[in-house]
Amino acid sequence: MRKLVIAGVPPADAARAALALTEGDLSLADGESRRIPQPIEPSTARSGGGNVIALPGGGPLARGLARAAQALDIEACQQILAEALTDLGVVQAWEDVMVPVLGAVGERWRDTGRGVEIEHALSGAVQDSLSSWIRGLAPSTEGRAVILACAPGDQHSLPLWAVSAALAEQGVGARILGANLPEDALSNAVRRLGPAAVLVWAQVEDTADARTLMELPTTRPPATILVAGPGWHSLPSAPGVSRVATLDDAVDRIRYALGR
């Protein structure tokens, strides 16, 4: 039933099809594929009562991820995410698969007030998958540090995991200090580590306070200070602070700060 739902079959139809299978249908001989019913054509499938996550223009992996998230199937989400990371690499998997589905789930919740459990399940699967990807690559943390943190009060740490995973593909290890990091804790980390680069993410303007950046301790040699996220959109020019717009841009600037 799970395979059919992910393939696009409405849950009720998938349940009926699964119940109709016999033991012989499920047995596997050497080299033989499982005989499961084909997905129902869109013209005959029910729409799901308006509960389908809208994903116009999404590719097969994004649509599969959306269906798995809708079914709260964490295992399937992680399998699809692992496939996306392996086939596409972190940057493309993030931009073409993870961000569109996360955005669609969030938009549906904002519009209807329903589906927060889907957003939580999907966010957890994305973080777990990116974390596993980083561990598998075992990037080096030798040399000057890279600090990734959310602005004080900001809870949106998933982009930091994407940056860390993309850096890991380049052999660069980063220290993720996570969501809602107090201002003094970020300053203490900069003072302690003397990093080459610090990236601060802010999702909303309410958490994007330029004073957080201005009060960071000066190090020798100085750290490259980067800000990312829509919250910094209206940030006035600040000396020594650069705004990054894309994941690729963040990775390139951090590598430059490290002299790579």
- For 228-238, write each residue's pLDDT tens digit: 999 998 877 67
Q: Is the pLDDT of residue 42 over 60?
A: no
Q: Is the pLDDT of residue 49 over 90?
A: no
- Local confidence band at 23 (pLDDT 50, 70, 90 cut-offs): low
Compute the distance between CA of residue 167 and CA of residue 248 in angstroms, rounded to an integer. 10
Candidates 123, 189, 111, 191; CA nearest to 160 is 123
Residue 27: per-residue pLDDT: 46
Q: Is the pLDDT of residue 47 over 70?
A: no
Tokens encoding 36: 């499961």
Residue 110: per-residue pLDDT: 81
Give the C-alpha distances (Å, rounded to integers) separating 138 from 31, 81, 241: 35, 19, 29
Edge-to-edge strands, sheet with 146-150: 175-178, 146-150, 197-201, 224-228, 241-243
Q: What's the mean per-residue pLDDT of the chain?
A: 85
Name the residue with tokens 């690499």: 89
Residue 140 DSSP symbol: B
Cis peptide before 221 (omega within 30 of 0): yes
> Which pTM value belongs to this model?
0.80
Q: Is the pLDDT of residue 30 over 90?
A: no
Q: Is the pLDDT of residue 177 over 90?
A: yes
Candidates 203, 49, 51; CA nearest to 112 is 51
* Domain 56-138 and domain 146-257 have a common topology: no
| CB atoms inside a 10 Å sphere around CB 28 | 9
CATH architecture, range 146-257? 3-Layer(aba) Sandwich (3.40)
Cross-strand bridge partners of residue 150: 201
Q: Domain coordinates of the chain in residue numbers? A: 1-46, 56-138, 146-257
Q: Is the pLDDT of residue 43 over 60?
A: no
Residue 162: per-residue pLDDT: 98
Candidates 248, 257, 255; CA nearest to 228 is 248
- Local confidence band at 44 (pLDDT 50, 70, 90 cut-offs): very low
Q: Is the pLDDT of residue 78 over 90?
A: yes
- Over its C-alpha atoms, the chain yields an Rg (Å, rounded) of 22
Residue 147: per-residue pLDDT: 98
Compute the distance between CA of residue 167 and CA of residue 176 in angstroms, rounded to an integer. 12
Candidates 120, 189, 194, 115; CA nearest to 158 is 120
Q: Is the pLDDT of residue 198 over 90?
A: yes
Residue 253 DSSP symbol: H
Q: Is the pLDDT of residue 92 over 60?
A: yes
Which of 106-120, 139-153, 154-168 is predicted with the least confidence, judged by mean pLDDT? 106-120
Look up the CATH number of domain 56-138.
Answer: 1.10.1240.10
Burial class of residue 125 in the structure, from the number of CB atoms within 10 Å of its CB (0-12 exposed, 13-18 middle, 19+ buried): buried
